[in-house]
Structure 1
Amino acid sequence: MCVILAHSHRSPDISPMNVLSEMEDEDCLKDVEINGHDIPSLPIMDANGHPVYCSTELPLELSGVPILADFGQMLPAERCTSDTLELIEGRNLFDPIDHINNQYVLPLALAQYIGYLGPPPLEMIQKSPLFSTYFDKQGNWASEPPIPQTSLEEFVTTISPGEEKDQFLRFIRKLLTWDPEVRATTNEIYPDEWLMRSHEDMW
């Protein structure tokens, strides 16, 4: 069984919560439904008086090619999502957090973005009062912290160097852009060569 949920937003949010897989055997769902009727779950009341029902563990066997499902989670263009590569690498690409004070630090975020994506377009810097605080008139980074020496090529370690990794990096760069106007739309990203690879050709 596979359910696809797709909303017509401009760019997809690729994260573990938005990836579905097929089930080997759907009969287990019928068993759960039958057992639910025969032995109804008794709720436990939480501290606020709300009922909490026990969940049922399913003996699932997943197979098939993972399917990108939900395009409904959106973020403002000024922010980059931190979970784009989490599904592949199991870690965040960006970490612009002051962990001592548990605060988001914009200059740290911008420095990390530049490290992976290069500097934002000069026109974008000149139009943004916020950006002008951190860049000079030529579009050069003029703030702290320094730009980290990073790259997407080095960050992606779970895909071996070669054709697939090259395709994957091209795919990611279509989504990770400063300018939302040049970011690949949902319709543009569907036929991407990396997404079209057969299951046998991946990893």
Structure 2
Amino acid sequence: MYSSQWASVPRKFPSSGFKLLDSSSCIEEETLPTYQAQKYYPTQQGEVLNNRYQILAKLGYGVTSTVWFGRDLVNASYVALKIYVTGEKREDELNIYHHLNSVEFKHPGKRFIRKLFDHFVITGPHGHHICLVHEPLGISAGELLEWIPGKAVTLEDMKVCVRQLLVVLDFLHSVAGVIHTDLQLKNLLLPTPKPEALTDFEEEELRMPSARKVLQDRTIYVSSRFPPGDGLPLLSDFGEARLSSERHNEDIMPNPYRAPEVILRANWDAKVDIWSVAMVAWDIVSSSTLIKGRNSDGIFDDRVHLAELVAVLGSPPPDFRERSHLSSVFWDDSGTWKGLAPIPDITLESLAANVKEEDKDGFLRLIRRALQWNPSDRPTALELLYDEWLMKGLEQGKREGVTKP
């Protein structure tokens, strides 16, 4: 099979020489509690999708998709392909990308957003699958931290990452009118690895193909470890993004990151992303999340979550409680906690005990600025970017002749 449009010839993968795994053992996406085989497209290594993109290796999987490293045969370049399960329409995500691409205003934050190159529909044996074609960025910030002793970095390294994230959010909030709503380490991806690293990755997959499990109707591949990439992470995954021009009160955000107005089903705005910035900053310098939010059975529980917030932030002000009728479930009319869950004996300072650096006080002030009960009391992305403590390292870098975001 060959197309006159192709600038490169598809690679031919070996039909033997790879490790065959026990077909009775669950691996990869099969281990997910909601897994249904027929919902996933039965991707085959080496196949060409949309008469253009050849599948080279599996990069990962999730509840809604699998992700693959591929080659654009028309442009002779590498791409990442995200193939969604059936039933995932993704029109909202595509509309957000089209909206972002239509913004002509020049802003430095725009270049730190992962690019969407293309999208198309695959017809599988059990329905249609949306496929998004992205630039092939490196591993996530979360994966990178797994490689670092203590699973955390210094406050100075964190500052550089957070400054860039705030530049991106200033573009999204003040120029594009977009709320991301899903800021977390797994959605911050390192830049595209060097071309030679991508070539080596492809050649290694041809020389030693990934282990796999071969079933009657599909093959389940083991995800390959992708080269990390070098530089500051870019923001990806706009699947949960919303336009700020619309009114919102739907449930959003990863459980331990949820802002209090989201927990209480009140209206929310772009300030939920500012709340998330504090949570992400914390995760970069600490090996455990700031909020646990789980009850004794290990289940996320709004009562436990709010009790932890009261312990860390103090009681919410009256005007915040008035934002939602659900506040009366947790606090009485005078603002006293009703005790639906015990308030733990923790403080922001005690939780930061493992952050052992002299400049910790400035870090905690930054966290407190972003973690305000009232969204209107939280700074904008630009205001937080110019936080005195956050800017401190930047000024020092300039004096030393180092350019940082």
Same fold (TM over 0.5): yes
Distance in 2 (CA, whole Å) between partners of 1:107 and 1:183 is: 23
Distance in 2 (CA, whole Å) between partners of 1:167 and 1:98 is: 32
- Distance verdict in 2 for CA 1:112–1:23, change over 3 Å: same
1:30 paired with 2:199, answer yes
Which residue type is aligned with residue 285 of structure 2?
Answer: I
1:69 paired with 2:266, answer no
Q: Which residue in 2 is equivalent to 1:4? A: 112
- Distance verdict in 2 for CA 1:107–1:176, change over 3 Å: same
Query: CA-atom RMSD, angstroms?
Result: 3.9
Q: Say if 1:159 and 1:165, in contact at 8 Å, map to a contact too.
A: yes
Per mean C-alpha deviation after superposition, the further-off stretch among 47-56 and 147-156 is: 47-56
Please tell me whether Structure 1 or Structure 2 has the larger radius of gyration of its CA atoms. 2
Q: Which residue in 2 is equivalent to 1:117? A: 313
Higher strand share: 2
Between the two proteins, the alignment pairs up a number of residues equal to 193
Q: 1:94 aligns with which of 271, 288, 291?
A: 291
| CA distances 1:24-71 after superposition (whole Å, capped 9, x unpaired) | 9653223224555x5595784576945444444456585x6x546358
**TM-score of the pair, normalised by structure 2:** 0.39
Residue 116 (structure 1) shift: 0.6
| CA distances 1:55-91 after superposition (whole Å, capped 9, x unpaired) | 44456585x6x54635856536323769542222111
- Distance verdict in 2 for CA 1:18–1:185, change over 3 Å: farther
Residue 154 (structure 1) shift: 1.6
Distance in 1 (CA, whole Å) between partners of 2:385 and 2:234 is: 10
Residue 181 (structure 1) shift: 2.4
Higher helix share: 2
- Distance verdict in 2 for CA 1:129–1:108, change over 3 Å: same
SS of the residue corresponding to residue 178 of structure 1 reads coil
Q: Which residue in 1 is equivalent to 2:367? A: 172
The gaps in structure 1 that reach 5 residues or longer are none
- Distance verdict in 2 for CA 1:97–1:29, change over 3 Å: same
The gaps in structure 2 that reach 5 residues or longer are 1-110, 114-167, 173-177, 241-251, 254-258, 264-274, 398-405
1:78 paired with 2:247, answer no
1:131 paired with 2:297, answer no
Q: Say if 2:201 and 2:227, in contact at 8 Å, map to a contact too.
A: no
Q: Say if 1:41 and 1:54, in contact at 8 Å, map to a contact too.
A: no
Q: Say if 1:12 and 1:186, in contact at 8 Å, map to a contact too.
A: no
Q: Say if 1:115 and 1:147, in contact at 8 Å, map to a contact too.
A: yes
Which residue type is aligned with residue 89 of structure 1?
Answer: S
Q: Say if 1:94 and 1:109, in contact at 8 Å, map to a contact too.
A: yes
